Structure 1
Amino acid sequence: MQKFIFHNTTKLKLLAFLCTVCTSGSATAHDITDAVLIDRSANCAAYAGSYSATATDVQNAATYAASVVITKEGDTCKISSNAVPNHDFNATGRFATQFSEQNQNFSVPASPVAADNPTPLSLRYDNAVFLNGVKLDLMAAGCYGVGNGNIGCNDMASPYRYDPLGAGKKFGADEHNAHTQPDGTYHYHGNPMALFEQSDAIKASPVIGFAADGFPIFGSFIAGDGQVRLATTSYQLKAGERDGGPGDPYDGTFIDDWEYVDGSGDLDVCNGMVQEGVYGYVVTESYPHVMACFTGKPDPSFQKRRR
């Protein structure tokens, strides 16, 4: 795995995603294939630049060229990509639709603000975009008892909505906790299993992306009390068995199987915390995986197109 260091002319900063190579006065895309990030800057403008990568759809033996462009425009950062990841993918997935390149354009506020009340996640909005240009879309459109359970559950009040990464893993996610949508868009449902050290970290994890409300997303490791450890979510499995519906004990198959228990973990109701004075969401090993709600207001650019 590659690591990149950028030397700022005014001060020394470790930046994994700001290593643009200049030739004849013009910037060329920096290759971030299999890059491991190290920067913890919470300002999206710190990552401005053009990036490229090469990725292979393993099962289909097809290779693609990734393209990501991050620009700062006023109080907003724009992140555009073709949705090709910076790592190989689909070695273990069961994709219902073959991968296809996209034209994705997201905007996030450079100075995010917490709302008076959290905004629930829904099927109307994508949740975030990672710094490799691939989006996060946590919610499944499948519920127990609705059609075949895979699609068509558009009422967010419907009970027993499946967790795509829950017990049974019925949605065919690959080794990066990702799969494709009906239009071929590759997207994550949790930890991308890339972009940051996954084990034996000696420092707190870097920023790996930005949520639709502009707050950063950090990897799983946090620092405190002289140690570096995995952050723990405050969502806990309910005790007992489900009342109605599919029955059976709560095992994480459905997002309804979980409940927020204040203070039971490191993270708040949206799966975020303040680190070094900066609020951000944190990737966790179990539900809600990255975030459970928006602490701020999602930008309209994350609203999904009607298909």
Structure 2
Amino acid sequence: MSYRIIICGFFCLMLQSAPEKKSFVRIDDQRGYRYIFTNSIPNHLHGSFPNRNNPNRISKIKRVYKVKSKPLVAKNTVPVAHYLFGVAINGIPFDPGTAEFWQRNRHSGWRYEALSGKINLGLDMNNAHVQPNGMYHYHGIPWQWLTKKVTTPDVTLVGYAADGFPIYALYGYKNNEISKMRSSYKIKKGMRKSGPRGYYDGTFVADYIYAANTGDLDECNGKFGVTPEYPQGTYHYYLTEDFPFVPRFFKGTPDFTFKKQKKGHRPQKSLSSQEKLLGKHFRHCRYCHELIRNNNLRIGRPPQWHKVPSAILQKIKTHAKNQQD
């Protein structure tokens, strides 16, 4: 237990909760494909959601993920970007990326790293939290689930990537022995020349660089080799203690069932001038954010004001007007 607290430290200071709803997952192999049926409910203890830094509640979301039973390596690596990286054998997805950027500018190129310790996203003891749509998902090694599943170091299958290749956690075979796998990513040396400036320190994804042959794994945080499930050998990924934690590139071609679903927000040009001013105020107003969180509201980004009860919306409008005056 103690090492899990050290790893999670900054993120896990919240109560553990047993699943409120029953988890469901089924994995079927049919005609060259592997189908993972899930209701997206975790089958293990999880943090308390909503919480101060993650205002979303876990919801039952029925999904069917599809991957090739015998995946092929693609000509070029594919960034995870707009895909979920994969899905655990318990039906919970792996999603390493965050929606948070330096100065809230997603065009800046400076995306915050979820497990940097520099930003609090309300993650629990499984390095997980909840999307606005209610989807519980992992940003790193799901420690509570994994340590219940495996009590001694072992080569443990934990899921399948969107391209079909298997995902293992922490340990793999090296020189015919079970060893902890080391990633080949390092923090860059020196100072950032743009954006937030300052020294590279792992706060942002762009603070890291792939340094070939410095670890056990390639740019996709995987390697070719044998595993208990694939005695003839296969390409396979690893979840690691260090960056990238969850791989950021695919070795194969991801299936469309892992594509992140975008909600249909109205384009910015259709917003009224009042809505634009309200949105601008809301981005920087701690009082208004607390108001939304305390009422367990999910209003999206940019804010969809029609989802806010009139009494609360009026409070936000009044606060915005008072701040402007």
Query: Normalising TM by the smaller chain, what interval?
Result: 0.7 to 0.9
From the CA coordinates, give the structure whose radius of gyration is larger: 2
Out of 155, 165, 170, the position equivalent to 2:115 is 165
Q: Which amino acid aligns with 1:136?
A: F
Could you say which residue in structure 1 is the equivalent of 2:22?
Answer: 65
2:149 is equivalent to residue 193 of structure 1:
no
Q: Which residue of 1 aligns with 2:88?
A: 130
CA-based RMSD: 2.2
1-side partners of 2:182 and 2:19: how far apart?
A: 37
Whether the 8 Å CA contact 2:88–2:94 is kept in 1: the answer is yes
- Cα separation, 1, equivalents of 2:222 and 2:129: 25
Equivalence for 1:89: 46
Aligned position for 1:110: 69
Report SS of the residue matched to 1:210.
strand
TM-score (norm 2): 0.69
Structure 2 Cα separation of the partners of residues 169 and 275 of structure 1:
36
* 1:256 partner SS: helix
1:213 corresponds to? 163
Give the gaps of 5 or more residues in structure 1.
1-56, 148-152
Query: What are the ranges of 5 or more consecutive residues in structure 2 without an aligned counterpart?
Result: 1-13, 227-232, 264-325
- Number of paired residues? 241
Matches for 1:44-55 after TM superposition, within 5 Å: none
Partner of 1:146: 104
Counterpart amino acid of 1:75?
Answer: G
Counterpart in 1 of 2:292?
Answer: none
Distance change in 2, residues 1:77/1:220 (3 Å): same
Query: SS of the counterpart of 1:63?
Result: coil
- Counterparts of 1:281 and 1:62 in 2: how far apart (Å)? 28
TM-score for both structures, normalised by structure 1: 0.73
Q: Secondary structure at the match of 2:257?
A: helix
More strand by share: 1
The counterpart of 1:289, out of the listed 225, 241, 245, is 245
The offset of 1:146, in angstroms, is 2.2
Distance 1:275 1:200 in 2: 23
Given the alignment of the two structures, is residue 183 of structure 1 paired with residue 133 of structure 2, yes or no? yes
How far is 1:214 from its partner? 0.2
Contact 1:58-1:88 at 8 Å conserved across structures: no
Percent of paired sites with the same residue: 34
Deviations 1:156-205 (A, max 9, x none): xx4111111113232221110110001111001111114545998343x2
Higher share of residues assigned helix: 2
* Aligned counterparts, 1:269-288, within 5 A: 269-276=219-226, 277-288=233-244
SS at match of 1:182: coil
CA offset digits 1:209-244 (Å, max 9, x no partner): 000000000110123235432110000011122122
- Find the aligned partners of 1:95 and 1:271 in 2 and give their Cα distance: 28
Residue 268 in 1 paired to residue 208 in 2?
A: no
Cross-structure match for 2:309? none
Distance in 2, matches of 1:179 and 1:197, equals: 18
CA distance in 1, matches of 2:117, 2:240: 16
